[in-house]
Amino acid sequence: MAIEPPRNFAYSDIELDAREGEIVESFLKSHQTAIPDPIDWLNAPPLASNVLLTSVDKVVNWSRHYSMWPVTFGLACCAIEMMCTAASRFDLARFGMEIFRASPRQADLMIVAGTLTWKMAPWLKRIYDQMPDPKWVLAMGSCGTSGGIFKGSYSVVPGFNKIVPIDVYVPGCPPRPEALLQAILDIHAKVDKMSPTRRAVEG
């Protein structure tokens, strides 16, 4: 029983693997410190802003608040709970966000649900970079906050805040859909504090 050799492409599999390995290793080296929560400046005393601007803020924030488009980033078991949250029993549509899309292009909120490995981490960062401002990130589950039961493992990122700034953390393994709903309401509260003239994430 002969086995055909691997197919040949413009780049050999070996070259592609080596390139991927380089990307993952350099990414791992450059993402060892946690990125702080961007809420700090939101809680600071308000900037000198005039009455007209605050009213504009209110309208813009109201529209963002009630039409939040999430991009799914389901990686592991937590994703099942996220699907349940979006389905009829818990009904995420009550909060104006039933359109789960697999595209980051029109998304405001990334729900990262699951266990993130270092091999996947560069692509999480890429999806995050592709989302237009303003953007929010929700880390779902213990894996998202600290690595969870896999903390100290050879392949798992210990907390998503090593990769992207996280707005809300949801503890639990997995969190109940109610917890995810509560976290989304927390995101809404953050949205209401925003000023459209500032970016969600500084820098």
Partner 1 sequence: MLDLDCIAVHERLKDKFGEGASAADNGRLSVKPDRLTEVAAFLRDDPEFNFDYLNSVTGVDHKTHFSLIYRLTSLSRKQRLDFRVDLTDHDKPTAPSVTPVWRGADLQEREIYDLMGIEFTGHPNLKRILLWDGFPGYPLRKDWVDRDA
Answer for which of 93, 102, 173, 185 binds ligand SF4 (CB under 6 A) is 173
Q: Residue 136: helix, strand or coil by DSSP?
A: strand
Answer for which of 149, 193, 196, 199 binds ligand SF4 (CB under 6 A) is 149
Tell me the C-alpha to C-alpha distance, in Å, between residue 118 and each of 42, 61, 151.
30, 35, 12
Least Å from the CB of residue 14 to partner 1: 7
Answer for which of 12, 20, 105, 132 binds partner 1 (CB under 8 A) is 20
Contact 144, 120 (CB under 8 A): no
Residue 29 binds partner 1, judged by CB under 8 A? no
Residue 155 binds ligand SF4, judged by CB under 6 A? no
Residue 1 or 10: which CB sits closer to partner 1? Answer: 1
Residue 14 binds partner 1, judged by CB under 8 A? yes
List all residues 6 or more positions away from 8 whose beta carbon is below 8 Å from its beta carbon.
Answer: none
114 binds, among ligand SF4, partner 1, none (CB under 5 to 8 A by kind): ligand SF4
* CA 81 to the chain's CA centroid: 16
User: H/E/C letters for each residue in 58-117?
Assistant: HHHHHHHHCCCCEEEEECCCHHHHHHHHHCCCCCHHHHCCCCCECCCCCCCEEEEECCCE
Residue 33 binds partner 1, judged by CB under 8 A? no
Instruction: Tally the residues of the chain.
Output: 203
Q: What are phi and psi of 74, to 5 degrees?
A: -80, 115
Answer for which of 65, 119, 176, 198 binds partner 1 (CB under 8 A) is 119
Stretch touching partner 1 by CB under 8 A, among 15-23, 36-44, 133-141, 190-198:
15-23
Least Å from the CB of residue 136 to ligand SF4: 19
List beta partners, residue 170.
Answer: 140
Answer for which of 143, 163, 181, 200 binds ligand SF4 (CB under 6 A) is 143
77 binds, among partner 1, ligand SF4, none (CB under 5 to 8 A by kind): ligand SF4
* Residue reference for tokens 């990686």: 75
Chain contacts with partner 1 (rule: CB under 8 A): 1-3, 5-6, 13-14, 17-18, 20-22, 24-25, 118-119, 152-155
